[in-house]
Amino acid sequence: MSETFDLDAALDAYRGRGREALLPVLWNVQSELGSISPESVRRISHALRVPEADIYGVIGFYTLFHEEATGRRIIRVCADPTCALAGADEVLRDLCSRLGIAEGETTADAEYTVEHSPCLGLCDFAPAALVSSRGEVDKSLPAATVDALLGDWNETYFKPAGDVDSVMLDGSLADAPQTLAQYGDYAALRKALDEMSPDEVIAEVEASGLIGRGGAAFPTGLKWKFTRAAPGAEKYVVCNADESEPGTFKDRVLMEHRPHLLLEGITLAAYAVGTSQAYIFIRGEYPKATAILHEAIQQAQARGLLGEDIMGSGFSLDIEIRRGAGAYICGEETALFEAIEGKRGFPRIKPPYPTTYGLFGQPTAANNVETLCAAPLIINRGADWFRGIGSAGSAGPKLVSVSGHVGRPGVYEIAPGMTLRHFLDQVCGGVSGELQAVLMGGAAGTFLLPDEIDVKLTFEDLRAAGSTFGSGAIMVFNTTADLGDLLLRLGRFFQHESCGKCFPCQLGTQRQVEILERLDAPHSGDRERLLDVGMTMTEASLCGLGHTAGIAVMSAIEKFPGLFQA
């Protein structure tokens, strides 16, 4: 226990606030005390006026919150496909053996708790780990080893990304985030505030053909237009930085490299839809990006680029960072709103859509990090410039995250239209070994075989090929990879991340794992069972998680029939 932490004093900072302060308060307690006890819940309940049962329900929903006591250091090692290829299982096993505990347990001296974790978004530094030390800021550890996990380190990992032609990425950044001085004083925002009405900003973004980069590919200008037009006492811009799709880490790199590009994009969106309040909801597994954004907001406020009366225009904006607490589902926009509102991250029934009924029931533009980062470029350089890059249905530069068996895993900025083959051979260092399969779009994605990689990397070409661009994740597997093991990991991921609200996904992700666990010794009819489960999740689930939780398995049934003997 932290001897110095005074919960009541900490709660004073939240007095007068209600349920929406719940996740920040719980984070405060979790970080200082290592768990959230009944006594803490009782006091939080009084301070925020939230029922104790509800707080308990929230703690149990988010995996980074603990109701049971934990060790002074909580170590989480990624168990998802890319890290598994890089030896994460061995690191986890050796760590447990060194500490004399099983995974999920705490050492007798209460020093260490060891867990496995879903994808930490550090696939370019596999195997990855996330470590929470009592009373300290959480830290990611790239290229995790047992000795490093038990030792001390500064969270200074950085991998240059981008080249001379890049506009989203900046190849000149060698080892640190871009400062405000390097980025410059928000020229696109200056242009918008001086010369453009909000409707003109929206028209320019609409004309650019920008579509959402989070996976759903919805036209961004249209979303802003709907939000601006919707009646509401308040409106909000929410930046979805809950990047959690396995194999996806482009938003992390954008935030860690170019925080001001994102902040300027959020500010443009807020000006366009007409709000003075924006949120960045960032996954709890991204402590470094969170710290960088906090610092960038302070820099921008100090320069008058954020806050009251920005650049003397009369337009004001407050950007608040909200930290997620371990729930893939919160990347679904309505579940994300629920999390900000201090609830379990359950997705809502749609319609109504966020543009009319979003955060706190108000019209809300929820945009992905990469999407918002494109806005300053469009305003600075014009819609025609943006449209000039890529294809008709996939305008503008696009980031992809490539991991697995390639020469140079990482984030790359591409002009949509190049083939996957060209990308693999010429851009990311080639496939290591003999290609077996490419998983496009992450855990919710589909497989491409070696003879299918001449497909162009555009939203429309991939869709036509029965695949998906999704979040831009490209996971590459050579012939040494065990695809059955890969499928089992994807199955376990969805089983772990299903929120449990709707029956098809709550039950289907469990049934799917049970069948995947016996791929080597199947029951007669297992293939048909997987198809029934997969189709039922796809067609009958409540949200996008359930709709896609069986896609990779059904894709594997089609592409690798030999894996499914019965």
Residues at the interface with another protein (CB under 8 A): 38, 41, 51-57, 60-61, 67, 327, 344, 349, 351, 495-504, 506-511, 514, 518, 523, 529, 532-533, 535-536, 538-542, 547
Query: In this complex, which beta carbon is closest to another protein, that of residue 393 or of residue 500?
Result: 500
Those residues with Cβ within 8 angstroms of residue 172's Cβ, 6 or more apart along the chain or in another chain = none
Query: In this complex, which beta carbon is closest to another protein, that of residue 60 or of residue 450?
Result: 60
309 three-state secondary structure: coil
Instruction: Return the residue matching tokens 């909200």.
Output: 322
Query: In this complex, which beta carbon is closest to another protein, that of residue 73 or of residue 492?
Result: 492
What is the distance between the alpha carbons of residues 437 and 103, in angstroms, rounded to a whole number?
31
Query: In this structure, how many other beta carbons lie within 10 angstroms of the beta carbon of residue 536?
Result: 18
Query: In this complex, which beta carbon is closest to another protein, that of residue 299 or of residue 509?
Result: 509
Of the candidates 556, 492, 559, 506, which has an alpha carbon nearest to the alpha carbon of residue 530? 556
What is the distance between the alpha carbons of residues 1 and 19, in angstroms, rounded to a whole number?
26
Query: In this complex, which beta carbon is closest to another protein, that of residue 296 or of residue 462?
Result: 462
Those residues with Cβ within 8 angstroms of residue 250's Cβ, 6 or more apart along the chain or in another chain = 213, 243, 369, 370, 399, 400, 401, 411, 471, 472
Radius of gyration of the chain (CA): 23
Side by side, the strands of the sheet bearing 112-117 are 112-117, 73-78, 129-133, 139-141
Query: In this complex, which beta carbon is closest to another protein, that of residue 314 or of residue 351?
Result: 351
Q: Give the nearest distance from C-beta 62 to another protein in angstroms.
A: 9
Q: Give the nearest distance from C-beta 559 to another protein in angstroms.
A: 22
Query: In this complex, which beta carbon is closest to another protein, that of residue 101 or of residue 540?
Result: 540
What is the distance between the alpha carbons of residues 40 and 35, in angstroms, rounded to a whole number?
9
Q: Give the nearest distance from C-beta 69 to another protein in angstroms.
A: 13
Query: In this complex, which beta carbon is closest to another protein, that of residue 275 or of residue 541?
Result: 541
Q: Report phi then psi at 328, rounded to 5.
A: -55, -35
130 three-state secondary structure: strand
Cβ–Cβ under 8 Å, residues 254 and 262: yes
Q: Report phi then psi at 442, rounded to 5.
A: 85, -160
DSSP state of 380: H
Q: Give the nearest distance from C-beta 503 to another protein in angstroms.
A: 5
Q: Give the nearest distance from C-beta 373 to another protein in angstroms.
A: 29
Q: Give the nearest distance from C-beta 495 to another protein in angstroms.
A: 6
Cβ–Cβ under 8 Å, residues 473 and 82: no
Residue 411 β-bridge partners: 401
Q: What's the full length of the chain, in residues?
A: 566
Q: Per-residue DSSP letters for 351-368?
A: SSPTTTS-GGGS-EEEEE
Q: Give the nearest distance from C-beta 365 to another protein in angstroms.
A: 24
Kindly tell me the number of DSSP H helices and DSSP E strands found in the chain: 24, 13
Of the candidates 476, 480, 537, which has an alpha carbon nearest to the alpha carbon of residue 503? 537
Query: In this complex, which beta carbon is closest to another protein, that of residue 320 or of residue 517?
Result: 517
Q: Give the nearest distance from C-beta 344 to another protein in angstroms.
A: 7
Cα–Cα–Cα angle for 545, 326, 536, rounded to 5 degrees? 20
Q: Give the nearest distance from C-beta 147 to another protein in angstroms.
A: 34
Query: In this complex, which beta carbon is closest to another protein, that of residue 180 or of residue 530?
Result: 530
Query: In this complex, which beta carbon is closest to another protein, that of residue 96 or of residue 530?
Result: 530
Of the candidates 247, 212, 297, which has an alpha carbon nearest to the alpha carbon of residue 83? 247
Q: Give the nearest distance from C-beta 543 to another protein in angstroms.
A: 10
CA dist list (Å): 539 to 499, 509, 543, 545: 17, 14, 10, 12
